[in-house]
Chain A
Amino acid sequence: DVKVTQSSRYLVKRTGEKVFLECVQDMDHENMFWYRQDPGLGLRLIYFSYDVKMKEKGDIPEGYSVSREKKERFSLILESASTNQTSMYLCATQGRAVEQYFGPGTRLTVT
């Protein structure tokens, strides 16, 4: 079974803080993704990575950056957290096929 883990299930941060969300997978998948999910807006892609040190912007990259130093780990960074970044953040991985496997999610609240 594919296992995708995220560093926290719930996180509360203050406005202006730098926030790191980590995602780790154990299936040697090349592709990894960060989405956010908000009521009424569905899942929106923030960034994805198709190889170590490679990244591409998704639909809503503003205010975020990512890091992929090792194949199994993909980090999402909020440089200066703002209240409009309060959301559920979901990491996913993908091998050669299109099926994506998601982690449990991190519910981030920025106050």
Chain B
Amino acid sequence: DAKTTQPTSMDCAEGRAANLPCNHSTISGNEYVYWYRQIHSQGPQYIIHGLKNNETNEMASLIITEDRKSSTLILPHATLRDTAVYYCIVRVRSGGSNYKLTFGKGTLLTVNP
């Protein structure tokens, strides 16, 4: 799986958009970008994934650059409950026998009132 680089921490004001960047310059053509988050003392939660096109769901939007070397997760109207560690993971979608997800250190997003 390609390596990802994320900032250690970020702050965001409640109600504003939170933009979380992720660099994955060694991504290969069949690797997807996945985002998970982990709220303190809970299990990780799947947020969104994408390959080339931008994606949006009820939780967030994912913007992937044209060269696919970086992406941004956008929480359009951050709330205090969005305070969590956000993980960007790059891997192939159909795993065969390799199902392991490798979680790095992620970005601690703190949403401030």
Q: What residues of chain A have their CB less than 8 Å away from a CB belonging to chain B? A: 4, 31, 33, 42-43, 45, 48, 50, 56, 58-59, 90-92, 94, 97-105, 107
Contacts and interface: CB of A to CB of B under 8 A. Distances in A.
Does more than half of chain A's interface fall in helix, strand or loop, or is it mixed?
Answer: strand
B44 A31 contact: no
Contact of A98 (B41, B42, B99): B99
B95 A43 contact: no
18 contacts: A4-B43, A31-B99, A43-B103, A45-B100, A56-B97, A58-B100, A92-B43, A94-B99, A98-B91, A98-B94, A98-B95, A98-B99, A100-B99, A102-B43, A102-B44, A103-B43, A104-B42, A104-B43
Interface string B24-54: 0000000010100000011111100100000
B107 to A, nearest CB: 14
Contacts of B94: 98
A42 B105 contact: yes
Given A43-B103, A91-B43, A98-B93, 10 more contacts: A43-B44, A48-B100, A58-B100, A94-B99, A99-B49, A101-B46, A102-B44, A104-B42, A105-B43, A107-B41
B45 A102 contact: yes
Interface residues of B, number: 21
Specify the main secondary structure of chain B where it touches its partner. Answer: loop
Interface of B: 32, 34, 41-46, 49, 91-95, 97, 99-101, 103-105
A55 to B, nearest CB: 12
